[in-house]
Chains A and B, each alone.
Chain A
Amino acid sequence: MNFDQLLQNVVGDTIGPGGSLWAFRPEMTLCATIIAVLLAKIILPGWKSSAYYITLAGLLAACFFAFPWSWQQGDMPAAKTIFTGMLIADSFTVVVRGLLLGFAVLFTTFTQMTGVWDRDDQAEFFVLMLGSLVGMCLMISANHILVVMLGVEMASVPCYVLAGMKRNQPVSSEAALKYAVFGAGAAGVMLFGLSLLAGVLGSAQLPTMTARLIQIIHQGVSPDQTLVLSLGGLMLMVGVAFKLSAVPFHFWAPDVFEGATAEVAAFISVASKAAALGLLVRLVAVFSMPSGLTFPEGISLPPDQLAAVADLGAVRQYIVAIVSLLAAVTCTFGNLAAYGQTNMKRLLAYSTIAHAGYMMMPVAAAAALVGSDVLGAREAVAALVIYIAIYLFMNLAAFAIVAFLRNATGSEEIADYAGLARRSPGLAVCMAIVMFSLVGLPPLAGFPAKMTVFLALIDAKLWALLFVGALNTLLSLFYYLRVVKVMVISPEPLHREAPTIPLTSMVGSYCALLTVPVVALFFLFGGVLYWARAAAHTLFN
């Protein structure tokens, strides 16, 4: 083996025909943008907004590369592993990555408009955001435990710094430290769990691990192996649950959301959560179903593959039990804890935790369905993708309004929103629409999102989870309504006026722009459903 041979192999795998780099262009673009932003800061110190424009251009280019231009009806690309089986490029990767990049474009313009970073900090902020985004893209396309670990770390480490990027604010530093320590602990537990799994299963590539798992179960699994495997799975879930801020690993969320700026909170609550859900779907899909199944028109499998699917039944039950338990507890706790909050960002933090619970429900449904009804399981994952897409607009809009109001009043307390409906009725209407959509009331986009999730639960016959979800929707109505009540009904205090932000202003129109999809996606639900189904199409086979 000499260098020339090595280079030949690498080039053959990456650049050659059908190589891996083609599917990896969006991530490459993000990495190139990071370097461009850093270089521009050195080479062009006079151009103050260089970071913003370069980041925006890079993100748009990445979106361009990520968009599936050639997809027609029924013309979905097959799942393909790239980089010698370390990553997987399929329609789920393409759609969720597209959502993440689209969110990043909106988010970048949002931070520029709030002007929260002074010009010196801007380049670093965008570099960290892009780095985190690369990690998230890796998380949703992971096919190897090395990539799972590196992706989670890469998505988290920049977020720790982002949470602390607020000068002269001890609260912010405290939040960042809490986040970093908690994150390091969760990552350590996750790494331990992954090593246990890899040790028992003798491989680090996820589909190979599943194949070994089927082999072990088929030969009769010993109690020791069962213990180590379930412990490994549980420890792996700790890492994912931390990223999802699922109870009981949610402690960091309220403090980080309160300590960090509203902008960073929006990034953590939307992008980080979407990526963690993507990773959860990947892990569940890999461990609940043997890979490389051949479906001759969906119904009948060859006998050996049927036996393999049946062998994984216990694993699926385990996954369903853990994920549904986490989902039910997370959802209920988030909604109950949101009641007593007086700070808007803390309220949104608990609302985020509750929504993480809702979004884990379809994953449990998918794991429950996949053994008997693959199409139903795909439908459940599609429900999750729909929820992520709609949640993206709702939460970004909510945090945008919070940030703009903070710029105007310097306060993030709910009580200080009193009188907003009189002074800036447009903004209050936007906020009310977002709040009602977060509850899931029709005719807003939150309604079909929740509806598809509940339909998936009915399909999977997870009645207890359905009951918890429905009850929680009812519970959540009251604290979201309280925000609207304060804006509309509470009398304006005498000593100060609520801010006046008309919808025709730059800031107001941006909020309106974000609120339009929250209404429009209810009526254009067919399009969302089409893309979500396309995303789930290549899973579980």
Chain B
Amino acid sequence: MTNHQHILTLAVLLGAVGLWLMLPRGGARGRAVGTVLGIVALGLWFSQFHGLGQWTADGMFFVLAAIAVVAAVGAVTSRNPVYCAIWFGLSLLGTAGLLLLAGAQFIAVATVLVYAGAILVMFLFVLMVAQPEGKASCDQMSWEAGVSAAAGIAMVGVLSVAIGGILAPSCPAMPPIAPPTQEELAAGVLDPHQVARLGDELFGRRLIAVEVAGTLLLAALVGAAVIVNQFSGRRHDGQQKTV
């Protein structure tokens, strides 16, 4: 194994141990150690990435990637569910920034709109409505912290194998990515009609699928209303208090 592979393997293992230490496990100590290990792992990872060679683009990438990863760790290690939700939103913003950097404008905006705008607000509503009297103890602890950390290490390990080439026999380091040429940029990311072409695809060739998806959502909405109505009806009748 080369030096590069050693460093990536070490980063994966350190990251997993650090995450396990940071997870709220009910009275267990070691969060500070975990934080340090996590920072070291993140630094090791970043040291193995080759950027595009332009310090502005690379700097943007590292800042956004750090925001996304740190916020994601915060979302799973926070003890307060509301903080978890807000950390999750920050992580989504970082991800959206990365997508924007990669030239996927539509997906970046859609991520912010759908996840940060709608789903996160729904999370917060559920938290506030479901627990107006305060946090339950089961929400402040991580269940199966070891299993979660193991699942995380498996996921990140597989990705590192696939992208970073840990198992590749003779891979000195990740080959530096050639910066895209002006023609490629003009045809792809810098095309002024990039999103318009997506719209053309969606509302031209796939028009019927979009319309059907809309009708499906309408039917699902009515279904949700029926279910809610049944529950409120039960409470109203007083026939069955516990549901």
Nearest neighbor of B213 in chain A, beta-carbon distance: A150
Fill in one digit per residue for A111-134: 1 if any B CB lies within 8 Å of its CB, else 0: 000000000110010011001101
- Is A86 a contact partner of B206 (Cβ separation < 8 A)? yes
The answer, among B204, B226, B230, for a CB contact under 8 Å with A128, is: B226
Q: Does B184 contact A (CB under 8 A)?
A: no
- Is A6 a contact partner of B199 (Cβ separation < 8 A)? yes
How far in angstroms is the closest Cβ of chain A from B106?
Answer: 14
Q: Does B240 contact A (CB under 8 A)?
A: yes
Given A6-B199, A10-B203, A124-B225: A87 and B193 within 8 A (CB)?
A: no
- Is B237 a contact partner of A168 (Cβ separation < 8 A)? yes
Interface secondary structure of B, over-half rule: helix
Nearest neighbor of A165 in chain B, beta-carbon distance: B226
The answer, among B196, B226, B234, for a CB contact under 8 Å with A1, is: B196
- Is A1 a contact partner of B193 (Cβ separation < 8 A)? yes
Q: How far is the CA of A178 from the CA of B19 in the complex (A)?
A: 36
Chain A residues contacting B212 (CB-CB under 8 Å) are 134, 138, 147, 150-151, 154
Nearest neighbor of B193 in chain A, beta-carbon distance: A1
- Is B227 a contact partner of A161 (Cβ separation < 8 A)? yes
Q: Does B209 contact A (CB under 8 A)?
A: yes
Q: Does B220 contact A (CB under 8 A)?
A: yes
Number of A-B contacts (CB under 8 A): 98
Find residues 100-124 in chain B having any chain A CB closer than 8 Å to their own CB: none
Find residues 79-93 in chain A having any chain B CB closer than 8 Å to their own CB: 83-84, 86-87
How far in angstroms is the closest Cβ of chain B from A19?
Answer: 12
- Is B223 a contact partner of A128 (Cβ separation < 8 A)? yes
Chain B residues contacting A161 (CB-CB under 8 Å) are 222-223, 226-227
Nearest neighbor of A170 in chain B, beta-carbon distance: B240
Q: How far is the CA of A135 from the CA of B193 in the complex (A)?
A: 34
Chain A residues contacting B197 (CB-CB under 8 Å) are 1
- Is A157 a contact partner of B208 (Cβ separation < 8 A)? no
Chain B residues contacting A6 (CB-CB under 8 Å) are 199-200, 203-204
Q: Does B155 contact A (CB under 8 A)?
A: no
Q: Does A9 contact B (CB under 8 A)?
A: yes
Fill in one digit per residue for A232-253: 1 if any B CB lies within 8 Å of its CB, else 0: 0000000000000000000000
- Is A150 a contact partner of B209 (Cβ separation < 8 A)? yes
- Is B209 a contact partner of A1 (Cβ separation < 8 A)? no
How far in angstroms is the closest Cβ of chain A from B209?
Answer: 5
The answer, among B206, B213, B223, for a CB contact under 8 Å with A158, is: B223
The answer, among A2, A86, A167, for a CB contact under 8 Å with B234, is: A167
- Is A127 a contact partner of B234 (Cβ separation < 8 A)? no
- Is B215 a contact partner of A134 (Cβ separation < 8 A)? yes
- Is A154 a contact partner of B215 (Cβ separation < 8 A)? yes
Chain A residues contacting B36 (CB-CB under 8 Å) are none
Which of A87, A138, A167: most chain B Cβ within 10 A?
A: A167
Chain B residues contacting A231 (CB-CB under 8 Å) are none
Chain B residues contacting A87 (CB-CB under 8 Å) are 208
Chain B residues contacting A34 (CB-CB under 8 Å) are 215, 218-219
Q: Does A160 contact B (CB under 8 A)?
A: yes
Chain B residues contacting A160 (CB-CB under 8 Å) are 223
Chain A residues contacting B230 (CB-CB under 8 Å) are 164-165, 167
Closest 4 CB pairs of A and B: A131-B219, A161-B223, A83-B208, A146-B209
Between A and B, 18 residue pairs with Cβ closer than 8 Å are: A1-B199, A6-B200, A20-B208, A31-B215, A34-B219, A83-B207, A86-B205, A86-B209, A87-B208, A121-B226, A124-B225, A127-B222, A128-B222, A131-B215, A147-B208, A147-B212, A151-B212, A161-B223
